[in-house]
Structure 1
C-alpha cells in the first residue's frame, strides 16, 4: 500500500479477479526466535506477551519498568526469567536481543533511544513517538547503529491486510479516489487517555489507526482542514479532518473518546470499492465490490489482540534474521509520514503535548 501505487493511471484490470489473493504471511511459529525484553509492563504488554507465548516460538527474556515490583509481578505471571527496575537496565541486559517498548506514549522516544544506544533492536508501540521529529531521531539512531526499528502498529501485519495490499498493488480497485476511516471509543473517568501529561486525547491512542491507514494508501496530503472539540477533562475530545492528496484523492476521518463508533474503513477506487468490517484495525473480514456488479468476500475470523499481536513480532524476527533493518509492513518512512500529518492536525487545533518543543513548521497548508 503506497501513494505511488495508487497514483498510477487507471489501466491495470477491468474487473475483479476470479478469487481473492491468498495471504502471503508465513506461519508465525516458523519465525526464528528472538530474546525479547518488554519495557513497560502494562495492559498492551500483557496482551503482547500472551500472544507471543500462544502463537510463536519467540522468547520472553526480560521485563523492565521504573518499578521493580511491577516488573517482578509481570515476570512471575508470564514466566519471564529476568525483571529490572529501570529501562536502562533492561536495555543493557546481555540476554536481550530486542526491546518491545510499551510505555506511555510520551516515553516511547526516550526508551527506544536508550535501547538502540545499548545495541538492541526496537519494536515500539504505536505511535512510535509523539511527533515526527521523535520518529526521525529513532530512525536516524537505528540506521547509525545498524539496528532494526519499527512501529508496532499491529494492524498492518495481519494476514487480511496482506490480501488488501495485493488488491491495491494489483490495481484491482483502479485509482483510489476516496478513503474514509474513523475510530471512536468510550472511556471511563480516570483512564490515562484523559491525562494531558501522558499526551492524552484520542489522536495518538485511536486516531493513529485511521490516519496511518489513510497515509499508507495516499501518502502526504497537500491540503488539510481539521476541526477539534476540547474535553472537560482538559484534553482534546474529538478531531475530524478532511484531506486532499496529489492527484485529487480525498480522505475523511474522525476520532473521539466520547463513544464507540463502527470503526469502519472504506476505500473507493475508480473500478471497485473496498469495505473493511469494523473494527477495521482488528482481525476480521472485508468486502470488495466492483462497479460492474462483481463481489468478493474475505471472511477472516474476527479476533482481538491475543489473536493478532504476534504477527508483528514474527515479522520483525524474520526481518532481523534476513539482515534487514526495516519491516516491509510498516516502514519507518510511513510512521514518520503519519506523525507529520498528526503534527499538522495539532498545529491547526493548537494542541501541544507537555515537554514538547514548539511545533516546527510543517509543509502542509492550513486550509
Structure 2
C-alpha cells in the first residue's frame, strides 16, 4: 500500500463542481441519521440513570452498548455494500436507527434499553460506513479535503443542535417526544435514498477490513483518531452528570460549543490540508484534544468547562478531518469502503471504550480526576502520530 494511489488531477486550472444533486441527496440522509443519533446520545444515559439506585456504570453501559453494536456493524458493512449497493444498505440503516427509538420509552428495564441501543447502533453503522464511502466517491479528487470538511460540517450541525436540544427536550417535555422526534428524523430521510447511486464499480482489488487494519498506513492515523474519540464519548455521556446541578444551562451551552468548535475546525483543517498536507495537522489536533479534556476536569468552574470543551472541539475537529483525508489518500477507490469502516470503527470504539472506562474510573476517583487521567492517556497517542509522520517523510506507508 503506497503513500498515495490517487490518480492525477484533471487539467490544470479546472476546478470541478463540489456540490452535485447526488451529493445533496447524500447530505439529506446524513442529516437524518446524524440528527436521530445525536438527539438521543446524551438523553438515553439520562433515561437509564433515572431509576433510583442507578449510577455512572449504567450510563456508561448504554453508550457502550450503542458503540459496540456500531463497531460490529461497521465490520460487516463493506461486505454488505459490495453485494447490496449503497441504496439498500443506507435505507436499512436509517430504518434500524429510527424505528427502535419509537419504542424506547416502553420500559426503563436495562435489558430493554440496551437492546434498543444495540439495534440503533447497528443501523447507525450501516449509515456511516456506506454513506462515508459514497460521499468520498462523489467528491472531486482535488477538492477532497474541502469536500470531506463540508460533509463533516453537514453532519456536525445536527450534533451541534441535537446534543443540547435532546437534553433540553427531555427535561422540559419528557422522554417520549424526544424519542419520537429522533425516530421521525431518520425515517423521513429514507425518501432521499432513491436519489443516490446504487453502487460504484471501482477499479482495483477490494481491500478487506482486517487487511486494512493490518496496514500501518491506515492503522496509525486510525489509532490516533480512536484515542481522541475517547474524549467525545466521555463528554456526551458524562458532562451532564459531572457538572454541578446549580449551574443552570451550562450543560446545554457546553454541548453546543463542543460540536460547533469541531465543525469550524474541521472546515479549516480540510482547506488547509488540501494545500499543505493533512499529515501536518494530526499532532496539533491531538495535543489540543488532550488539553481540552484536562481543562474540563475543573467541573465546578463554569468558564473552565466551556473553554475545555471548546479547545477539545477544535482539536477533535482537526483530527477528524486530517486522519480521514490521509487514510483515503492511501488507498485506491476500491478501498474507500474499508477506510470508511476503519475510521468509523476508530470513532465508535473510542467513544464506547471512553464511556465504559470513564464510568468505571469515575466511580473510583470522581469526575475531575477521571477527566485528568483521560487527558494523560490521550497524550500517549503521540507515539503513532510521530511514527506516521516519520514514515511519510521517508516515503514509506
Q: Structure 1 length normalisation: TM-score?
A: 0.31
* Structure of higher RCO (CA pairs closer than 8 Å, 6+ residues apart): 2
Choose between structure 1 and 2: higher helix proportion: 2
Choose between structure 1 and 2: higher strand proportion: 1
